[in-house]
Amino acid sequence: MSAVTALTMAFGAGVAMAVQLGVNVRLGSWTKDAVLAAFVSFFVGTLALAAYAFATRIPLPSLSDAGKLPLWYWSGGVLGAFVVASAVIVGPRIGSATMFTLMVAGQVSMSLILDHFGLFGLPQHSISPLRVAGVVLVVLGVVLIRKF
């Protein structure tokens, strides 16, 4: 995958997240519950991923090895559910722009820590004053978007 393709895909994922917030909020108005709306969203997403995996014939891993994985490997779904449910609950109260700039601030802050220590098998990139300045600028962006 080229760098341009990867950057475009990352930008598109951000666009999709912003649209997803609005869609899931509307879904929540139908389900009358934000967590149920998140469940429906994940269920539909699971069906879409299963259809993709089936259509592209992605080989399934050995289920016998699944029990040998560390428990934290399975936390991604729980974290994703928290993200979607939080967006549906909080987004309508603080607005999409504030919600997502806060999410980006949290993502960048935690990413600096993950990168610094090379956690979860990610490449190690030390924290530097300029990287911290980048986080500070994102947080400043949150303040500006929230205030104005």
Classify burial at 36, counting beta carbons within 10 Å of its beta carbon; exposed 0-12, middle 13-18, buried 19 or more: middle
34, pLDDT greater than 90: no
What's the whole-number mean pLDDT along residues 37-48? Answer: 93
- Indicate the number of domains in the chain: 1
pLDDT digits 0-9 by tens, 67-99: 889 999 899 989 988 998 898 889 889 998 999
pLDDT digits 0-9 by tens, 115-134: 999 998 889 999 999 999 99
What is the pTM assigned to this prediction?
A: 0.77
Q: Residue 86 is encoded by which pair of tokens?
A: 């939080």
Closest by CA position to 142, among listed 94, 87, 110 = 94
Q: Residue 14 is encoded by which pair of tokens?
A: 């951000």
Range of the domain at 45: 3-147
